[in-house]
Amino acid sequence: MASRIDIRPGDTVTLELPYSEVCMHMRVAGRRMHVRLTDGAHPMAQLLSEDGSNFSLAITTGEAGIYRDADGFYAYVEASCTCPDDCNCRKAWRTNVCGCKAH
């Protein structure tokens, strides 16, 4: 089941990139990558290489599967574990460490 994660400018999250036109052109559609939401008046999605360097120029948030509503930016991610409801796995997408004792 997909969970919503809130993303603030400056945050780096791991997302499975959608099959958007830009991601298809860049040949990263369907790939799990680190994505940093840039700061500024119009935040963009900066894809990051394995070593943390910029993969390319920043792309629009929608092309990277990051959306915006009245509460800010968000994305949906598939839970990679079967943790109990009180687990804070959503932070695992930022830190790659869940900390849940269910593992």
- Number of C-beta neighbours around residue 77 at 10 A: 19
Q: What residues make up the domain containing 56? A: 2-95
pTM for the structure as a whole: 0.76
For residues 18 and 76, the answer to whether their CB atoms sit within 8 Å is no
Residue 44 lies in a domain: yes
Residue 103 lies in a domain: no
How confident is the model over 39-73, as pLDDT tens digits?
999 999 999 999 999 999 999 999 999 999 999 99
Number of domains in the chain: 1
Q: Which two tokens stand for residue 65?
A: 């599967």
